Amino acid sequence: MGIGRLASVDTSKLYNVLYSIHADWDPLGSVYRTVPGLATAAQGILGIMIFLKRLRLKRGDKTISSIPSSADQPHELKKEDAVSALSFANDIRPLFRDMDVSAMKRYGIDLSSYEDVKKRSRDIYAQLSAKEMPCDGPWEESRQQKLQEWMDSGMEP
């Protein structure tokens, strides 16, 4: 019996129930203490994980696989990037499969044509970003990013 129980002169039923939940070692009291303890431990572990992830991002660690959003990166091409600018023939045309090209020709869009893709690039990107194109499943983020980079770098042929 605890000190609090010995010192108490209250022997009402309500007191006995509250004491049982808070201080006794019955199943209800154990659950009452265990659940908040586990929640606190989980918060601590998640906090440490978030801290470590941010630390790795600051250090530029390559072990984290996160794709930067377009809001994080400027859309201006730097001088050193101009040498490695993307081209339609080498980088963008291979993104469109033959079945994509034939499917879109029915709608008057030729994905194999540089001029057509250049003219409609914003609309194509909007459809890809909205996951409405292609019809058999959305593009990976890296493919969408490549199209965005090509558009931002001047849409070389």
Residue type, position 92, single letter: I
Same domain, 50 and 19: yes
> Can you give the residue range of the structural domain that contains 8?
3-59
CA distance 86 to 84: 6
Look at residue 127 and tell me if it is in a domain: yes
Cβ neighbours, 10 Å, residue 18: 12
In a domain, 68, yes or no: no
34, 92: one domain: no
- Domain total for the chain? 2
What 3-state class would DSSP assign to 99?
helix
Return the ∠ at Cα 123 (arms to 119 and 126), rounded to 5°.
145
DSSP string, 123-156: HHHHHHHTT-SSTTSPPPHHHHHHHHHHHHTT-B
Average pLDDT, the chain: 77
Secondary structure (3-state) at 53: helix
Please give the model's pTM, rounded to 2 decimal places: 0.47
Residues 27 and 84 in one domain: no
With 90 as the cut, is the pLDDT of residue 146 above it?
Answer: yes
Residue 10 belongs to some domain of the structure: yes
Give the SS3 label for residue 17: helix
Tell whether 85 is covered by a domain.
yes
What type of residue sits at position 63? T
Q: Tell me, yes or no, whether 104 lies in a domain.
A: yes
| Structure tokens, 43 | 């918060």
Q: What is the C-alpha to C-alpha distance for residues 14 and 20, in angstroms, rounded to an integer?
A: 10
Q: Quick check: is 74 in a domain?
A: no
Q: Which of 12-16, 113-117, 122-126, 151-155 comes out lowest in average pLDDT?
A: 12-16
What are 69-118's pLDDT values in tens digits? 555 555 554 444 445 689 999 999 999 999 989 988 998 889 999 999 99
Say yes or no to pLDDT of 134 above 50. Answer: yes
Q: Are residues 54 and 85 in the same domain?
A: no
**Residues 52, 88: one domain?**
no
